[in-house]
Amino acid sequence: MYRRRFLARAGAAGVTIGGAATLTGCLDEGQDVGMTANRFIPDELTVTVGDTVVWENTSTRTHTVTAYEGGIPDSAEYFASGGYDDEVTAREAWNGAFGGGLENGDRFSYAFTVPGRYDYVCIPHEEGGMYATVFVEE
Ligand SMILES: [Cu+2]
């Protein structure tokens, strides 16, 4: 259900999902989600269980990919750039020494093994609305 809706919208935006996602002028092969100064591109992505999503910082600002602990399925393993085990630790690390920060060209990946909805955020740009969602289908 999500996939169809996403693809319909993605088509308009020029995004192709399927092994390698591309967004002209932003994403290169092998990346699924890129980043502008204050956005994840695309901000909604639908994948299948078992898929690995690759984020790449395609901007010149430092960003994080940090899952909302209450925004992922209960049985899913927590994820955050920097490899932190939970959201509190990820936020403390960022606030303390920019832990988990992705610089231009840095990548972060996560293999989705549990279906459901995953909401995540960029800690330094949360107030600017830099958060996004991955939908994982069976
Ligand atoms: Cu950011």
Cα–Cα distance measured from residue 83 to residue 101, given in angstroms and rounded to the nearest whole number: 11
| CB distance 52 to 42 below 8 Å | no
pLDDT at position 30, please?
A: 83
Give yes or no for a contact between 57 and 85, defined as CB atoms under 8 angstroms apart.
no
Query: Mean pLDDT across the stretch 92-111?
Result: 97
Residue 33 structural domain: 2-137
Is 81:91 a contact under the CB 8 Å cutoff? Answer: no
pLDDT band at 97 (very low <50, low <70, confident <90, very high): very high
What's the number of domains the chain is made of? 1
- 17 has pLDDT over 60: no
Ligand 1 centroid distance, CA of 119 (Å): 15
Q: What is the CATH number of the domain that holds 20?
A: 2.60.40.420
Averaged pLDDT, 119-138? 98
Place of tokens 């269980």: 49
- Distance between Cα 18 and ligand 1 center (Å): 25
Please give the distance, rounded to the nearest whole angstrom, from the Cα atom of residue 57 to the centre of ligand 1.
Answer: 9
Task: Give the distance (Å) from ligand 1 centre to CA of residue 82.
Answer: 14
| Predicted local distance difference test score (pLDDT) of residue 26 | 52
